[in-house]
């Protein structure tokens, strides 16, 4: 009954439905350019566009904004569809801006006929120099007054391939003195003899974003065309085309893009990391891409919950990575089964436990979810514990193992350290301990207490695994604070990947499936690496630690 407060965008949609604008229809679209993989910023836009359609009984299209042939590829088209579906959304229509090239061309001819567009034969540099500034008007191109006939002829010859790249462009004829810089005769088409991943060599002129985007919206009768704030200054032009071409009146609305600390989100930079081999690929678990987050162990529910938490506003800002991590923790705390895994093993021999004996102990799978049940874990004379759970000389308030100190072994017995063994170099290689058989289940009949509980695995039953621990991609929280002339890659964190080999896992982890997250007790949430793990050679990724660094 408690109605959630709507964000500004949903308020607009609700008001438009109430007033009968667009006949009460809601049609949105998510318009990625297929020039890279989707990232967490795109997830914000997907949740907004598909979310609004779902919540208001509307429709949402997936439209590939494929007007830039040299940077686009079918690999990206496929990955984008896969990632949208993985996030939990299904599009109503699937479209490509390139499907509309003929229509866009004809509309450009209409603008020429209406004396609202002309072919300019200057270089891009000359055009840029004539643009003027916010305070000073621009200069008219010497080609601005070409006749309609000449413009139509030149534009047709541009299309037919008669001219090399850069020889001419098509521009709108608006106002070189307009206070809206976007109105100063913006470019509509440029010549590009480039192969397109869908239209092949059918075209050698390609429309500019501003000319294509709004008209594509209009063709699809988009009611609410939602984009990020950088496009606010483009809105007058968006409306100008609709008015002059007299086509379906889509409306553009802007919201603040997502920026996250300690990472980069521009596809150009992400591509650079991939191409330079600084990460293993678009799905490297350190990448903020949806495929990277998935491989890292993020679930669609966690990402949707994150997008809901951050909300939609018109104020740009920087969201702390901890907010994303907490969304994952919340989700995994509820659903991930607990397991025991020793990442940096130290051998323990229980001298009073019979040689060759094995017993099976019950362990609770998820204290947050009774229906997850229990499992049996083997216990024997030889175990592994974490190296950091032993100190030769116990520090103050160190309640784990040390000579003479007693701890509780999770789901098992009390264990006391009697002695340790060192190798020739002085490294501790083994602990000699005794257990108390009366403490099975973790409590002593005599009421004595231990302060520390540690995890362990039975040595003869343990699985070997490689475990990969991750830290932030960048060393600095806000890369926008870097000096202008600095190489952004100097901010890369060299310690973002730590590989641990010879980790020891409890045997039930043998049939763990990728995308099924587990909690390694005391160590964080982990998932099988979907690319590199095999049944012969297990690889786990840490998705997130149990607590963020501030709480540790
Ligand atoms: P990039 O800067 O990473 O290349 P882009 O905006 O050029 O991003 P597109 O493929 O055009 O990438 O984006 C598709 C949609 O996703 C657009 O509507 C865009 O506004 C939105 N989007 C992209 N990045 C973000 C972000 N960081 N936060 C919110 N929405 C985003
Ligand atoms: Mg874009
Ligand atoms: Mg881009």
Question: Reduced to 3 states, what is the DSSP secondary structure of residue 502?
Answer: strand
Nearest to 163 by CA among 186, 145, 187, 190: 190
Determine whether 15 is exposed, middle or buried from the number of CB atoms within 10 Å of its CB (0-12, 13-18, 19+). exposed
Contacts of 274 (CB under 8 A, 6+ apart): 281, 282
Q: How many CB atoms lie within 10 A of CB 135?
A: 6
Region 290-315: mean pLDDT is 97
Percent of the chain predicted with pLDDT > 70: 99
Q: What is the mean pLDDT of the chain?
A: 96
pLDDT band at 548 (very low <50, low <70, confident <90, very high): low
List CB contacts of 323: < 8 A, sequence separation 6 or more: 306, 309, 310
pLDDT (tens digit per residue) in 417-435: 999 999 999 999 999 999 9
Q: Position of tokens 């621009």?
A: 138
Tokens of 117: 């567009």
Spell out the SS3 assignment of 135-178. Answer: CCCCCCCCCCCCCHHHHHHHHHHHHHCCCCCCCCEEEECCCCCC
Q: What does the angle CA 302 – CA 308 – CA 314 come to, to the nearest 5 degrees?
A: 140
Contact present, 324 and 331 (Cβ < 8 Å) = no
Which residues are part of the catalytic machinery? 33, 257, 267
Tally of CB atoms within 10 A around 186: 19
Give the closest residue (by CA) to ligand 1 atom 4. Answer: 267
Q: What is the pLDDT of residues 120-132, one digit of tens each?
A: 999 999 999 999 9
Task: State mean pLDDT over 399-410.
Answer: 97
Rounded average pLDDT over 311-338: 96
Token pair 């540790």 in the structure block, residue = 552
ipTM of the assembly? 0.96
List, as ranges, residues with CB under 5 A of the ion ligand 2.
Answer: 33
Distance 32 CA to ligand 3 centre (A): 9
452 Rama class: left (phi>0) / alpha (psi -120 to 50) / beta: beta
State the Cα–Cα distance between residues 329 and 543, nearest whole angstrom: 9
| Nearest C-alpha neighbor of 522 from the set 400, 392, 348 | 400
Give the helix, strand, coil percentages of the chain, each rounded to 5. 35, 25, 45
Find out whether 39 is annotated in a ligand binding site: yes
Which residue among 36, 228, 319 has the greatest number of ligand 1 atoms within 8 angstroms of its CB, and so is best to mutate? Answer: 228
Write out the two tokens for 360: 């099976």
Give the 3-state secondary structure of residue 247. coil
Helices H, strands E: what count in the chain?
12, 25
Question: From the CB of 427, is ligand 1 less than 6 Å away?
Answer: no
Out of 28, 35, 39, 42, give the residue to mutate to test ligand 1, the one with the largest number of ligand atoms within 8 Å of its CB: 42
The pTM score is: 0.95
Instruction: Indicate if the pLDDT at residue 550 is higher than 70.
Output: no
Pocket of ligand 1 contains residue 258 by CB under 6 Å: yes
Looking at residue 218, its pLDDT comes to 98
Q: 35 C-alpha vs ligand 2 centroid, how far in Å?
A: 9
CA distance 257 to 248: 27
Ligand 1 contact via 269 beta carbon (within 6 Å):
no
Structural domains of the chain in order of their starting residue, each with its CATH number: 8-255 (3.40.50.620), 261-295+308-336+464-552 (2.40.240.10), 341-455 (2.40.240.10)
pLDDT at 551: 46
| pLDDT tens, residue by residue, 101-122 | 999 999 999 999 999 999 999 9
């Amino acid at each position: 009954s408690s109605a959630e407060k709507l964000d500004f965008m949903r308020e607009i949609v609700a008001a438009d439905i109430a007033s009968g604008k667009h006949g009460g229809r809601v049609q949105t679209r998510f318009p990625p350019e297929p020039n890279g993989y989707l990232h967490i910023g795109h997830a914000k836009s997907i949740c907004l566009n598909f979310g609004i359609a779902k919540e208001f009984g509307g429709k949402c299209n997936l439209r590939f904004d494929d007007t830039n042939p040299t940077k686009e590829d079918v690999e990206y088209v496929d990955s984008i569809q896969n990632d949208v579906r993985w996030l939990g959304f299904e599009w109503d229509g699937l479209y490509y801006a390139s499907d509309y090239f003929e229509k866009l061309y004809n509309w450009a001819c209409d603008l020429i006929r209406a004396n609202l567009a002309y072919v300019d034969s200057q270089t891009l540099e000359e055009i840029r120099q004539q643009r003027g500034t916010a305070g000073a008007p621009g200069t008219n191109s010497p080609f601005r007054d070409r006749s309609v006939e000449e413009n139509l002829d030149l534009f047709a010859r541009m299309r037919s391939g008669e001219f090399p790249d850069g020889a001419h462009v098509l521009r709108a004829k608006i106002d070189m003195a307009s206070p809206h810089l976007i109105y100063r005769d913006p470019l509509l088409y440029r010549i590009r003899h480039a192969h397109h991943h869908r239209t092949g060599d059918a075209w050698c002129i390609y429309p500019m974003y501003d000319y294509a985007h709004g008209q594509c919206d209009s063709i699809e009768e988009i009611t609410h065309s939602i984009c990020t704030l950088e496009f606010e200054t483009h809105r007058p032009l968006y409306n100008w085309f609709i008015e002059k071409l007299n086509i379906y009146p889509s409306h553009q609305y802007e919201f603040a893009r997502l920026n996250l600390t300690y990472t980069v989100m521009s596809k150009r930079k992400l591509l650079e990391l991939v191409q330079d081999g600084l990460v293993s690929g678009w799905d490297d678990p350190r990448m903020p891409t949806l495929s990277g987050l998935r491989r890292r162990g993020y679930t669609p529910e966690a990402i949707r919950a994150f997008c809901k938490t951050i909300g939609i506003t018109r104020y740009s800002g920087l969201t702390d990575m901890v907010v994303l991590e907490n969304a994952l923790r919340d989700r995994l705390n509820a659903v991930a089964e607990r397991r025991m895994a020793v990442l940096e093993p130290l051998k323990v021999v229980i001298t009073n436990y019979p040689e060759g004996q094995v017993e099976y102990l019950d362990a609770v799978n998820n204290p947050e979810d009774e229906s997850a049940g229990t499992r049996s874990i083997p216990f024997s004379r030889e175990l592994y514990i974490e190296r950091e759970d032993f100190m030769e000389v116990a520090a103050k308030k160190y309640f784990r193992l040390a000579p003479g100190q007693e701890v509780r072994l999770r789901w098992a017995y009390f264990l006391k350290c009697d002695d340790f063994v060192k190798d020739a170099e002085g490294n501790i290689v083994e602990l000699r301990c005794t257990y108390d058989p009366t403490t099975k289940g973790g409590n002593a009949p005599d009421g004595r207490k231990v302060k520390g509980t540690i995890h362990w695995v039975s040595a003869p039953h343990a699985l070997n695994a490689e475990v990969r621990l991750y830290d932030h991609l960048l060393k600095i929280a806000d890369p926008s604070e870097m000096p202008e002339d600095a190489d952004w890659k100097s901010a890369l964190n060299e310690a973002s990947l730590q590989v641990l080999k010879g980790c020891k896992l409890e045997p039930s982890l043998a049939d763990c499936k990728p995308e099924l997250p587990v909690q390694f007790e005391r160590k964080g949430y982990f998932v099988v690496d979907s690319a590199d793990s095999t049944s012969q050679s297990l690889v786990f990724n840490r998705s997130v630690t149990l607590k963020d660094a501030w709480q540790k």
